[in-house]
Each structure stands twice: as structure tokens, then as C-alpha cells.
Amino acid sequence: MNQSSVNLRIIILLFIVCNGFSQKNTDEEITYIYVEGDSIPKTAIELNEILILNRVKFTSKEDIKNYYLIKRRTLKVYDYAKLASERLDSLESRFLRISSKRERKRYAKLVQKYIDNEFSEELKKLSRSEGRILIKLIHRQTGSTAFDLIKNLRSGWNAFWFNNTAKLFDLSLKSEYDPYTNKSDFYIEDILQRAFQNEQLERQSSKLVLDYYDIRSKWENN
């Protein structure tokens, strides 16, 4: 999407959802804005951040092929990582209100059981390649590796066992998301930013400190 089309979308959006009118006072003219679905007039509205996303520079046909494979897998598994972050936030918020260690453990098991029952069958359908990306995205969205999440919700031994079992399928629960040093992770970040901007995916802030332009500049100048 080029800059002109982005600007056009912003202008159209403002005309569709906003209905402004002016009210004069003794000193100056104040413009109030009514936003659809909100009865309180505002003097300004906040717009979502819009990134200028130029085309990724590929060095080979293999890179192009790899990018689109990663794109398909990323779009498929992102919602699972987003859910993991939401459930973790909910768990931590509830933990702050529970003083009993026994009750905390009981609540953690209830959350784990809920996630298992709701998504275990879907997760079983993922390929190994999709599983690798999901593990990376869990780190991006929660700020913790899948290994650490299991360790905190279960026990250190269970996390060790799960990680070694995962390795049999060429997966590691300790995998971290690092688009600054890992080219595949850079592709994932680029794919996510484009999907957020196109409203193909619902944006959820990363728990990691990531600057898309810094990441992109690093790879373009590499």
C-alpha cells in the first residue's frame, strides 16, 4: 500500500465515522467531533499508528518462496499466540487477588484445563513448521518462552519433559523470537505488521521491545 492510498483511507475514515460541528465562545471557535458509538463529544481523536511498509528486498527466488511459506503459517497460528497472551494476562491479574498459594495453583490448573479443552484438538493439526512459528509468536506476545510458561504453570520437571518431547519433532520450547538477528523472524514481523495494517489480523502489542524500522534497516543494510 503506497503513501497516497494510506492518506486517502485516513481521509475517508474520518468522513465516515466522524460528524463535526462548531460551537463559538467569546474567545475562539472550538470544533467538537462526534464519533459513531460514543455520545461524548471530543476535541480530538486518536488514530492507530500507521507504518510506511515498503516492499521487502529479496536476494533470491528461494527467499521469496520462504517468505510466502512463512506468511501462510504465521497467519494461521497468530491467534493461538494472541490467546496465550490474553490468558496469561488474565491469570496474572487474578493471581494478584489470590493470597493462598494453594488457591493460586488450583486456579492455574483451571486455566490450563480450559485452554487444553478449547484448543488442544486444533493445535494437534499444526505441522512442525507451523509449530515452530507458534512457539516464536508465543515468546513475542507473552514475553516468555513456551518452556518458561509451562515451567511456571506446571513444574520444572514437566517443562523439561515437554521440551525434550518437542525436540523429537524438531521443535524447541525454548526458542526465542528475535527479528534483529534471525531472518525468518524478520519475515514474521514484516508479515504481522502488514496484516495488522490491512486488518487481516487483530493487532496485539508485543511484550518484547521491537522497533520495526530498526529491524528492517538492519536487514536492508546487512
Instruction: Map out the domains of the chain as residue ranges.
Output: 3-35, 61-220
pLDDT band at 31 (very low <50, low <70, confident <90, very high): low
Q: Which residues contact 88 (CB under 8 A, 6 or more apart)?
A: 142, 144, 149
CA 138 to CA 79: how far, in whole Å?
A: 10
How many secondary structure helices (H) and strands (E) does the chain include? 8, 2
State residue 61's pLDDT score: 94
CA 174 to CA 184: how far, in whole Å?
A: 17
Q: Is 55 helix (H, G, I), strand (E, B) or coil?
A: coil
For 117-159, the pLDDT digits (tens) are: 666 666 778 888 998 898 899 899 989 888 787 777 665 545 5
Q: Which residues contact 45 (CB under 8 A, 6 or more apart)?
A: 18, 33, 35
CA 174 to CA 25: how far, in whole Å?
A: 62
pTM, whole model, 2 decimals? 0.70
Per-residue pLDDT at 22 exceeds 90: no
Please provide the DSSP assignment of 151-213 as one string. Answer: HHHS-HHHHHHHHHHHHTTT--TT----TTT-HHHHHHHHHHHHHHHTTSS-----SS---HH
